[in-house]
Amino acid sequence: MHKFDFKNKTAVITGGAQGFGLDIAKNFLLFGAKVFIWDIDEKELLKATKEINSPNLEYNVIDVSNPGLIEKTVSSILLNNKIDILINSAGITGPTAELWNYNINDWNSILDINLNGTFYCCKSIVPSMIKNNYGRIVNIASVSGKDGNANASAYSSAKAGVIGLTKSLGKELSTYNIAVNAITPAGAKTRILDQMSKEHVQRMLSKVPRGRFLEINELSSMVCWLSSEENSFSTAAVFDISGGRSTY
């Protein structure tokens, strides 16, 4: 991976205890950042913190669907730090089912975590970025938010919403030195696949012209560039990393 300079930068990464979020955290730390990883799973947070063993890594037990907790935690972090980078990586896929058979509670939970959680985190952190006239926000959407996945209407809708949020917020912040972008990965071998049926996973893979799942380090590399000072112009954009699957 190309080396980036994140010295004197502080990043918040939601869903940071595992999968995409954890790998992004490792790379940010490698390149000199201070990192706060947020996750609802304290066991995984402790495991990640012990594994990485860095004085520049801290964690918070966060449910991103709880705006009050987010506000409180952000205020605490800002007492001694700036927040330069926000990576919204927390998400769930939920069960696979036809829309007319979709459980309403599951639908609400998926939208609350994937879409509302992204909104809550941006709403809490963006004012400090405006004050400092600097920020990089990367929202992890999904190729399903562009193309749609059968039997995953809630997840597809939530990720489409994340794309729309990114485009709106990027335009709202375009006069500041703040970049807001989304990436749309295809499936990757993370724990999120465990939430899906084997048939659904295979159907996803069959749509990828590359013929394989996304490697986590491939996504992290793209996120690092979008989060760096080198990305001085791109904002309100969607960066595809779907192995050729996307039709637009």
Catalytic residue annotation: 155
Q: Would you say 182 and 163 are in contact if contact means Cβ atoms under 8 Å apart?
A: yes
Between CA 58 and CA 65, with CA 62 as vertex, the angle to 5 degrees is 150
CA pair distance 162, 171, nearest whole angstrom: 14
Beta partners for 237? Answer: 181
CA pair distance 163, 165, nearest whole angstrom: 5
CA pair distance 35, 40, nearest whole angstrom: 17
DSSP state of 59: E
Beta partners for 11? Answer: 35, 85
Task: Produce one character per residue of 95-127: b if its CB has 16 or more CB atoms within 10 Å, e if not.
Answer: bbbeeeebeeeebeebbbbbbbbbbbbbebbbe
